[in-house]
Copies of this chain bind each other. A is one copy, B any other.
Amino acid sequence: MRGPCSAQRGRTAGGEWLWFSALIAVVICKTGDGVELTGLYGRITSPNFPKPYPNDQTITWTITTPIGHRIKIYFTYFNLELSYRCEYDYLKLNSKGTEVAHLCGKESTDTEKAPGDTVFYSLDNKMTVTFRSDYSNEKEFNGFELFYTAEDINECESDTEICDHFCHNYIGGHYCSCRPGFSLHSDKKICTAQ
């Protein structure tokens, strides 16, 4: 069986880019707790991908990006065992204490959801990805391949009340400014007449 770290670093369909991404990505492996990912982008696959995944696996990847960013996740391949409400094999995405997605199968059905072309976003700068396979599968399934990337949160658009006069977004944050004749209060938000 491959440990979670070797699974993360495992083969890719086109392996070369990993060398480049390794220049930025900082990967801390903790066997037992799961895998910590702090790069601005990367790829996660089921163990042995694109070969079928083994039974009885539970792996959690925790992606953490800098404050002021959110994590975008999308799938280029997904085929997990289908079960009622994805109770057997599944992939879960969690952020800020909320279940963002609970996925299984290959195509969505009435009660089960497969990702298809859906793009998923974290609710803050952190997302956990949990893959689980149960003790038995009658058929073989090839698992999943997903890519994640940090995106800037435009605080000026997501919260229009964030500044009294002018809001200026930048990658990783924002700041406020005031019209001529006004000073920015020490709260960095309110404008007061000079």
Contact = CB atoms under 8 A, between A and B. Distances in A.
A14 B177 contact: yes
Most chain B CB neighbours (cut-off 10 Å) among A147, A182, A186: A147
A191 B150 contact: no
Contacts of A181: 13, 50
Contacts of A32: none
Contact of A14 (B17, B50, B149, B178): B178
A41 B184 contact: no
Given A13-B184, A50-B181, A152-B152, 19 more contacts: A13-B179, A13-B182, A13-B183, A13-B191, A14-B182, A14-B184, A14-B185, A15-B184, A17-B176, A17-B177, A17-B188, A21-B175, A40-B170, A41-B170, A49-B180, A50-B180, A149-B171, A152-B171, A171-B171
